[in-house]
Amino acid sequence: MWRTCLRLRDEGRRLLNGPRRGLIASVRPAPNPPTQARAYAPPTERKRFYQNVGITQGEGGFEINLDHRKLKTPQAKLFTVPSEALAIAVATEWDSQQDTIKFYTMHLTTLCNTSLDNPTQRNKDQLIRAALKFLDTDTVCYRVEEPQTLVELQKNEWDPIIEWAKERYGVEIGSSTSITGPSVPARTREVLTSHLASYNMWALQGIEFVVTQLKSMVLTLGLIDLRLSVEQAVLLSRLEEEYQIQKWGNIEWAHDYELQELRARTAAGALFVHLCSESSTVRHRLLQE
């Protein structure tokens, strides 16, 4: 059924793009439809075609070698990353693939590819705006009115992190129970925009990725500023779901599956931000005689 949906969508797109053939010909399927590969659905797994994974330091940064071939991005650029730790983490990702390469588990590689290729062609301002858009509908600012236990849970768990963010950035962040959400003052937006502008493009890609995972700007800031660990941030992001699990029971193939995926994605994003934004200055402690 899923396949039919995709095929239908494909037909629809062809209609939108303007019929190349006659309208009737495009609606009625050809007697022997050619099996064409779908460009927008890359294979999720492929055979592991290499034995050894290595790292070399090139001009633009660190490169990954699969046997004797250099790793490339989907747009055929050379894969280079700015930090050694990130290169090692990416190489470990490739090396840990067993018989098949599971691209859906290689979050750091994906993030590097996105930063290198920038497939959506966004600049820094657009990235910041996309991340800050989540502040209007921030998870921790939306509160429920009933049941009472959940109201108290949200108050106890979410208020401290909002207080921390207010103090840390000197801004006003309110919470609301209405469907329209809290109104965010213009000054808050300005302060956070200028704060995010201090990060480089790579780190911003990572920040936007984390924000879209956690659906919360406040939690992301807590994660980037080392206030929350990944596990805590994910727990706070899924607070209502955790409450419902407590009440109705846990389903391994839905709840645990999503939890682990969210944790993996969030951890990858946070690590990516930290590794890309740090300046590697090594200060040796002077020995006191």
Partner 1 sequence: MAALGSPARTLRGLLRELRYMNAATGRPYRETAAYRYLVNSFRAHRVTSEKLCRAQHELHFQAATYLCLLRSIREHVALHQEFHGKGERSVEESAGLVGLKLPHQPGGKGWEP
Q: Is 60 helix (H, G, I), strand (E, B) or coil?
A: coil
| Backbone φ, ψ for residue 121 (5° rounding) | 55, 45
Q: Based on CB atoms, which residue is closest to partner 1, 132 or 268?
A: 268
Measured at the alpha carbon of residue 215, what is the angle toward residues 160 and 184, in degrees to the nearest 5? Answer: 65
Contact flag: residue 107 with partner 1 (CB under 8 A): yes
Contact flag: residue 88 with partner 1 (CB under 8 A): yes
- Binder to partner 1 among 71, 161, 268, 276 (CB under 8 A)? 268
Q: Based on CB atoms, which residue is closest to partner 1, 88 or 153?
A: 88
For 9-52, give the secondary structure using H, E and C. Answer: HHHHHHHHCCCCCCHHHHHCCCCCCCCCCCCCCCCCEEECCCCC
For the CB of residue 71, give the shortest distance to partner 1 in the complex, in Å: 15
Tokens matching residue 268? 């990858």
CA distance 99 to 92: 15
Tokens matching residue 51? 């034995």
- Binder to partner 1 among 24, 30, 226, 287 (CB under 8 A)? 226
- Binder to partner 1 among 57, 92, 126, 176 (CB under 8 A)? 92
| Backbone φ, ψ for residue 80 (5° rounding) | -130, 140
Task: Look up tokens 């969210």; give the residue.
Answer: 262
For the CB of residue 89, give the shortest distance to partner 1 in the complex, in Å: 7
Q: How many residues bind partner 1 (CB under 8 A)?
A: 38
Site for partner 1 in 114-133 (CB under 8 A): none
In terms of C-beta density within 10 A (0-12 exposed, 13-18 middle, 19 or more buried), how is residue 193 classed?
middle
What DSSP designation does 139 have?
G
For the CB of residue 287, give the shortest distance to partner 1 in the complex, in Å: 12
- Binder to partner 1 among 65, 153, 264, 277 (CB under 8 A)? 264
- Binder to partner 1 among 229, 241, 246, 247 (CB under 8 A)? 229
Contact flag: residue 65 with partner 1 (CB under 8 A): no
158 Cβ contact list (under 8 Å, min separation 6)? 140, 143, 175, 236, 239
- Binder to partner 1 among 17, 285, 286, 288 (CB under 8 A)? 285
CA distance 46 to 101: 5
- Binder to partner 1 among 75, 96, 126, 176 (CB under 8 A)? 96
Q: Is it true that the peptide bond before 43 is cis, omega within 30 degrees of 0?
A: no
Contact flag: residue 67 with partner 1 (CB under 8 A): no
For the CB of residue 184, give the shortest distance to partner 1 in the complex, in Å: 26
- Binder to partner 1 among 261, 286, 288, 289 (CB under 8 A)? 261
Q: For the stretch 163-179, what's the b/e string if a residue is b when 16 or more beta carbons lie within 10 angstroms of its beta carbon?
A: ebbeeebebebebeeee
Contact flag: residue 157 with partner 1 (CB under 8 A): no
Instruction: Answer whether 74's CB lies under 8 Å from 117's CB.
Output: yes
Q: Based on CB atoms, which residue is closest to partner 1, 207 or 268?
A: 268
Note the residues at the interface with partner 1 (CB under 8 A): 55, 84-85, 88-89, 91-92, 95-96, 98, 102, 105, 107-108, 226-232, 252-253, 256-257, 260-261, 263-264, 267-268, 270-271, 274-275, 278, 283, 285
